């Protein structure tokens, strides 16, 4: 029996609990043994919830239960999530997470800790929601030198831009629509100012180039100032505006990385990724361009990615740490040093 503890019973956490329950036969077949969520940790009450009996409030119960082999961290942020992750790894438990902020901030330390303990720290769900990207990059493109990654990595801003492009809805109104649909949070800063995209491109860059990239070193501009006039100017040049995270390895080994609204051709592989979908284009020296797209967020798409990691963690010990070193910050090319063309009459970079 694989016993799982889920930390944080929010949208993603509850999705994980439901998915393990709903598709239990699929999990068991792939694991060769049954699987069950033994504990759900949350400080809130969930009276009458189907899984109410599994709810606990004391993390030490999980930490000290030798039956728990996989801990799913869907708390988010870098407070309790960081503390519990370290404690779970230290206790010799595999940890699986959707927490991009924690991965982008503390991955080198957590990966080394996991390695020392012979367990896995997995984060497929931290980038691109349900889209398989971490494992494909790590395994399927393993024979390549990866030169470049460009992605639409945030569903909320892509939804807003899609409304602006196709329905000529101004930014403020599109944001309100996104909030009404639950795509944007009450405080939408992390999405619309690009911080969420920044964390994700940092994770992808680290995986591709083997070096941790600290989000605070990355030039990050969101879509708050994009106007319908910008959208029209792009259209007049056969382009659309997308919020991109971009990371490129330069010839001297330095990394050029930024987050910015960019004008891309309508025939670009990412131009038709619309609404809340995410799309990620990876360029390898042997494979050329490969693009992955799908739902970048949401309860079950994200739970799908978390649960694939749960199955992996329960089956094998997987170690990303050896390819992800903390080598400081000097290798990051300053945004001001990047030579862009700009969409005429705007400060929006043109990307080919």
Catalytic residue (one of 54, 163, 200, 299) = 200
132 near a second copy, rule: CB under 8 A: yes
251 near a second copy, rule: CB under 8 A: no
Residue among 9, 27, 84, 123 that touches a second copy (CB under 8 A): 27
Closer CB to a second copy, 176 or 271, in the complex: 271
For 232, the enclosing helix (H) or strand (E) is helix 228-236
Q: Which residues of 284-323 are buried (b: 16+ CB within 10 A; e: fewer)?
A: beeeeebebbbbbbbbbbbbbbbbbbbbbbbeeebebbee
130 near a second copy, rule: CB under 8 A: yes
Which positions from 300 to 329 touch a second copy by CB under 8 A, shown as an x/- string?
xx-xxx-xx-xxx---x-----xx------
Count of chain residues binding a second copy (CB under 8 A) = 51
Alpha-carbon distance of 232 to 307, in angstroms, equals: 42
**Helix runs in 98-147, H state only:** 100-117, 134-135
Closer CB to a second copy, 82 or 209, in the complex: 209
The alpha carbon dihedral of 178, 183, 187, 190 has a sign of negative
Closer CB to a second copy, 114 or 310, in the complex: 310
SS3 65: coil
Alpha-carbon distance of 133 to 155, in angstroms, equals: 16
292 near a second copy, rule: CB under 8 A: yes
Q: Which two tokens stand for residue 186?
A: 């009450």
What is the distance, to the nearest Å, from the Cα of residue 101 to the centroid of all Cα atoms in its chain?
Answer: 9
220 near a second copy, rule: CB under 8 A: no
What residue ranges bind a second copy (CB under 8 A)? Answer: 15, 19-20, 23, 26-27, 29-30, 32, 124, 130-132, 135-136, 139-145, 267, 269, 272, 284-295, 298, 300-301, 303-305, 307-308, 310-312, 316, 322-323
- List, by residue number, the catalytic residues: 200
């Amino acid at each position: 029996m694989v016993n799982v503890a889920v930390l944080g019973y929010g949208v993603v956490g509850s999705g994980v609990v439901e998915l393990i329950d709903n598709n239990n036969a699929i999990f068991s077949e792939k694991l060769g043994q049954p699987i069950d969520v033994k504990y759900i940790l949350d400080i809130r009450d969930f009276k009458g919830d189907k899984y109410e009996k599994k709810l606990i409030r004391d993390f030490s119960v999980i930490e000290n239960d030798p039956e728990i082999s996989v801990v799913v961290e869907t708390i988010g942020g870098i407070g309790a999530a960081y503390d519990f992750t370290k404690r779970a790894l230290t206790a010799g438990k595999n940890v699986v997470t959707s927490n991009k902020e924690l991965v982008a901030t503390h991955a080198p330390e957590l990966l080394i800790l996991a390695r020392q303990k012979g367990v896995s720290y997995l984060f497929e769900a931290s980038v691109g929601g349900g889209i398989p990207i971490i494992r494909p990059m790590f395994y399927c493109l393993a024979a390549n030198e990866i030169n470049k990654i460009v992605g639409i990595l945030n569903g909320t801003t892509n939804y807003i831009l899609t409304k602006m492009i196709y329905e000529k809805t101004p930014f403020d109104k599109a944001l309100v629509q996104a909030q009404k649909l639950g795509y944007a949070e009450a405080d939408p800063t992390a999405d619309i100012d690009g911080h969420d995209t920044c964390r994700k491109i940092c994770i992808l860059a680290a995986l591709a180039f083997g070096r941790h990239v600290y989000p605070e070193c990355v030039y990050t501009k969101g879509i708050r100032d994009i106007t319908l006039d910008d959208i029209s100017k792009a259209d007049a040049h056969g382009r659309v505006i997308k919020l991109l995270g971009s990371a490129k390895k330069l010839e001297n080994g330095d990394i050029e990385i930024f987050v910015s609204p960019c004008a891309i051709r309508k025939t670009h592989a990412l131009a038709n990724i619309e609404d809340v979908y995410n799309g990620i284009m990876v360029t390898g020296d042997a494979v050329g361009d490969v693009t992955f797209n799908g739902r970048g967020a949401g309860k079950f798409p994200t739970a799908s990615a978390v649960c694939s990691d749960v199955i992996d963690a329960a089956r094998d010990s997987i170690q990303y740490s050896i390819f992800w070193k903390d080598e400081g910050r000097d290798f990051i090319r300053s945004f001001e040093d990047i030579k862009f063309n700009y969409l005429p009459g705007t400060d929006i970079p043109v990307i080919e």
